[in-house]
Structure 1
Amino acid sequence: MATAYWDRDGEAGSAAPTTSFWKAGHKPTLIAAFLYFDLAFMVWVLLGPLAPMIAKTLALTPAEKGLMVATPTLAGALLRVVNGLLVDRIGPKLSGAISQLIVIAGLFAAWMLGIDSFGGTLALGVILGFAGASFAIALPLASRWYPPEHQGKAMGLAGMGNSGTVLAALFAPGLAKLFGWNAVLGLACIPLSIVFLAYMIMAKDAPNAPAPKKLVDYFEPLKQADAWLLMAFYAVTFGGFVGLAASLPIYFTDQFGLTPVVAGYCTAGCVFAGSLVRPLGGALADRIGGVRTLMMVYVVAALALAGVAYATTLPGALGLFVLAMLALGTGNGSVFQLVPQRFAAEIGIMTGLVGMAGGIGGFYLASSLGLAKQMTGSFSSGFLIFAGLSILALATLAMVKGRWRTSWTSGARI
């Protein structure tokens, strides 16, 4: 049976399951969504690579360091729901433009005024949350152009913008060493402004957007158990990814005495692995099903994170972190292969809700690692608890997979 979709010119058409991915959809919008997401994620986790230097300047405790890097994650999580609503009300392109301007203005103000207190870092973290909330805009901006059989790949490629965390880890510590960490906040405005202009030129809203609803109707999916389950699964996969991306610079400097620059390189290697496989995770889920892919993801992530808790050498810890990030990145793409199969008509708000859950998972991991270090002198208990959450997610998925496969009717493999 043919599937309705909208081609690159906004004309209605039909696509058989064998239609080439690159012949469907709107490539300029897909590229714009990726660029927006990439630079937004770069600044979303910016406090992580800068944390060792900020903590030294402001004399922060381990718990304060953990909360500082976790605050943008929590703010981004909550704002994703707001952005999900905006996407369905005013469209993803305009929503993205507003969000980008808020982040650029906030970073510019922080650079000009300076940050000289722990409270100041938290305030900046809230502003950076708008960058993390880009998730709820970039994914529906791209995915609405593509038919169901290509949803995993489209959302995976747009979602690969989480590779921006690599840019932060690679360049922020070195620039801070040369110019001071506060200057990095101003320097970040330059690429953000360039991408904003490219976004305004290239991005185009798909013509098949659902009609606006009453505000209360946007939360109808929360009456469905499947919505909560998808949120929980993403809280583990994306929560693990972004929580580690924000926390690893602190871990490497505290645990192994690395310089902030070297810790940034180690973090970049780990984050790059997780970012690279996100679209592969979506493609793999398209081929073998998101459920089967996720089950493998949780097993590998749990084993790797449990191993990190007992790692005593830098090469051992680094290898386990790369393995964990490969699994979690694959899981991120897999969850968002499943979301549009179950909630196609509510993809905007569901992207926001699921993304919010992922951000909350990241906030928990980043803040709990700081608390574990302060209370026990070690990060181990934080990693072990999150490994346990991966096992819990695996058991839950095993219980619901049969019902999902018999009750979902999108026609795509789950």
Structure 2
Amino acid sequence: MTAPSTAHTRPSRGGRWIQRWDPEDEAFWEETGERVARRNLLFSVLSEHIGFSVWTMWSVMVLFMGPEYGLTPADKFFIVSMATLVGAAVRVPYTFAVAVFGGRNWTIVSACLLLLPTVAAFGVMEPGTSFTAFLLCAMLAGIGGGNFASSMTNINAFFPLRKKGWALGLNAGGGNIGVPVVQLVGLAVIGAGGGPRVLLGIYVPLIVVAAVLAARYMDNLASVKNDTGAAREAVKDPHTWIMSFLYIGTFGSFIGYSFAFGLVLQTQFGRTPLQAAYVTFVGPLLGSLIRPVGGSLADRFGGARITLWNYVGMAAATGVVVIASMRESLPLFTAAFIVLFVLSGLGNGSTYKMIPGIFQNKAVALGLTGEEAAARGRRLSGASMGLIGAVGALGGLGINLAFRQSFLSVGSGTAAFVAFLAFYGLCFALTWAVYLRRPAGPAAVARTATEAKPRLSYAEV
């Protein structure tokens, strides 16, 4: 397995290939780099946005599926779980595809691939279709989840370290907002009395537009290539797995709740499809919009600090959700759930900002400076991002399976929320212990000061 890195150049293979790219050079960045990077960011966001919409389309489709479809709530939770699973799994190969095909070229290909699940769902979406057919179509929709990984890897190479929190937050937030958009479109379709095929038909031309615009306006970076050594090093680095765990708590929550929110409202609170759709989009919308804010706050105060206190907020909001669920208070439940969405989005931005900072920090600790340190940081952070994104997305699978089991066992989502509360506590403890804990006592401080290889400080990452 290989991973993307940024070396200097390689021969042009035709098409829109940029041979020299050095965003850490401030003169280069101001003259040409920023303009090109922002243009690629814009159209990367568009394609990733459509990918998220296709990936999470089944969170809307299941709202259309009334008793005539013959599916239980557990069946519906399992359908959306499988879409989440595939979306997580394809993130790893999608990460490496950027270096093989080029960021622009793979954006075109990955956009076109979204036609497959959309057309397939159009063909089967009617009563009488087997559960297996619905399940396979939902799994096929999972390929939309891979667009995030390739887009983030591509944009990570375009921007300097000092801008990564903002750029990656905006890129991811613009993609994440595809979740509430498809839910809003679904609300409009339901409200107008349309069926699921109307919703699917809306997205086919949008997919084509995204592919055409990527072909017209995006670029490939010749300096991005797959690096087997970086992949092996990233897999062996404990920080890759620590950040994967933390990302489960933020992005896993966001995507899992996005799939499950409408189903929980229908199943636990007896909402109709239209009533559920009226509020389902609000949480993902706010969570998507605030993700760049999380990245910007991390740029300013340090991703570890923002992430730590964000988990405190997520635990508190989950506690309120548990109380509301036990009391069957729909207004309190809805309000607390939306706050949970907002905090998951904020944490998405801060955790992803930590990744390049951690590996840059480690490069400096090895004695590297300047562009040499920056290049090593980009190399290893690029190698780790796809894996972290994939593992984080598996959190969405865990959330939907937990809801399925909770409803099967106790008839409500309360037990699942208690489990999520405990998990956020673990994430808080891990963030503090690894990235913010100070040496204990004067002796430890003195020992750290005299060590040849001092303990790395990640508080600012």
TM-score (structure 2 length as normaliser): 0.81
Q: 1:71 to 1:35 in 2, by over 3 A?
A: same
Q: Tell me which amino acid in the other structure corresponds to 1:190.
A: P
* 1:244-255 alignment runs, 5 A limit: 244-255=257-268
Q: Which residue of 2 is the match for residue 261 of structure 1?
A: 274
Q: Which residue of 2 is the match for residue 179 of structure 1?
A: 194
Identity %: 26
User: Conserved in 1, the CA contact under 8 Å of 2:41 and 2:155?
Assistant: yes
Q: Which residue of 2 is the match for residue 212 of structure 1?
A: 226
Unaligned runs of 5+ in 2: 1-6, 10-17, 360-376, 440-453
Q: Tell me which amino acid in the other structure corresponds to 1:33.
A: S
Q: Tell me which amino acid in the other structure corresponds to 1:354.
A: I
Deviations 1:131-166 (A, max 9, x none): 011111111222211110110000001001201111
Structure 1 residue 408: Cα displacement: 5.7
Q: Tell me which amino acid in the other structure corresponds to 1:144.
A: A
* Residues in 2 aligned to 1:263 and 1:256: alpha-carbon distance in whole angstroms: 10
Stretch moving more, 115-124 or 145-154: 115-124
* Residues in 2 aligned to 1:404 and 1:276: alpha-carbon distance in whole angstroms: 33
* 1:3-402 alignment runs, 5 A limit: 12=22, 14-15=25-26, 23=34, 26-54=37-65, 56-114=67-125, 116-160=129-173, 161-176=175-190, 178-209=193-224, 211-214=225-228, 218-311=231-324, 312-341=328-357, 342=359, 343-402=377-436
Q: Tell me which amino acid in the other structure corresponds to 1:269.
A: V
Q: 1:19 to 1:265 in 2, by over 3 A?
A: farther
* Residues in 1 aligned to 2:180 and 2:106: alpha-carbon distance in whole angstroms: 25
Instruction: Give secondary structure in 2 for the equivalent of 1:310.
Output: helix
Q: Which residue of 2 is the match for residue 413 of structure 1?
A: 460
Structure 1 residue 407: Cα displacement: 5.6
* Residues in 1 aligned to 2:190 and 2:244: alpha-carbon distance in whole angstroms: 36
User: Conserved in 2, the CA contact under 8 Å of 1:41 and 1:162?
Assistant: yes
Q: Tell me which amino acid in the other structure corresponds to 1:337.
A: K
Structure 1 residue 369: Cα displacement: 0.7
Deviations 1:370-407 (A, max 9, x none): 22112111100111101111110110111111489976
User: Conserved in 2, the CA contact under 8 Å of 1:15 and 1:147?
Assistant: no
Question: Bigger radius of gyration, 1 or 2?
Answer: 2
* Residues in 1 aligned to 2:136 and 2:21: alpha-carbon distance in whole angstroms: 45
Q: 1:11 to 1:135 in 2, by over 3 A?
A: closer
Structure 1 residue 122: Cα displacement: 1.5
RMSD of aligned C-alpha atoms? 2.8
User: Conserved in 2, the CA contact under 8 Å of 1:66 and 1:371?
Assistant: no
Unaligned runs of 5+ in 1: none
Q: 1:332 to 1:321 in 2, by over 3 A?
A: same
Instruction: Give secondary structure in 2 for the equivalent of 1:179.
Output: coil
Q: Tell me which amino acid in the other structure corresponds to 1:297.
A: N
Deviations 1:311-334 (A, max 9, x none): 132221121112111111011011
Q: 1:24 to 1:174 in 2, by over 3 A?
A: closer
User: Conserved in 2, the CA contact under 8 Å of 1:88 and 1:349?
Assistant: no
Deviations 1:99-122 (A, max 9, x none): 222221331133135461211122
Q: 1:399 to 1:20 in 2, by over 3 A?
A: farther
Instruction: Give secondary structure in 1 for the equivalent of 2:114.
Output: helix
Q: 1:241 to 1:374 in 2, by over 3 A?
A: same
Q: Tell me which amino acid in the other structure corresponds to 2:339.
A: L
* Residues in 1 aligned to 2:73 and 2:244: alpha-carbon distance in whole angstroms: 29
* Residues in 1 aligned to 2:301 and 2:96: alpha-carbon distance in whole angstroms: 32
* Residues in 1 aligned to 2:32 and 2:306: alpha-carbon distance in whole angstroms: 21
Instruction: Give secondary structure in 1 for the equivalent of 2:221.
Output: coil
Q: 1:43 to 1:403 in 2, by over 3 A?
A: same
Stretch moving more, 56-65 or 372-381: 56-65
User: Conserved in 1, the CA contact under 8 Å of 2:304 and 2:460?
Assistant: no
* Residues in 1 aligned to 2:230 and 2:423: alpha-carbon distance in whole angstroms: 31
Q: 1:361 to 1:404 in 2, by over 3 A?
A: farther
TM-score (structure 1 length as normaliser): 0.90
Structure 1 residue 97: Cα displacement: 2.2
Q: Tell me which amino acid in the other structure corresponds to 2:200.
A: L
Deviations 1:78-129 (A, max 9, x none): 1001111212333222222222222213311331354612111221122111
Q: 1:348 to 1:92 in 2, by over 3 A?
A: farther
Q: 1:227 to 1:11 in 2, by over 3 A?
A: closer
* Residues in 1 aligned to 2:55 and 2:313: alpha-carbon distance in whole angstroms: 27
Q: Tell me which amino acid in the other structure corresponds to 1:205.
A: N
Q: Tell me which amino acid in the other structure corresponds to 1:362.
A: G
* Residues in 1 aligned to 2:307 and 2:78: alpha-carbon distance in whole angstroms: 29
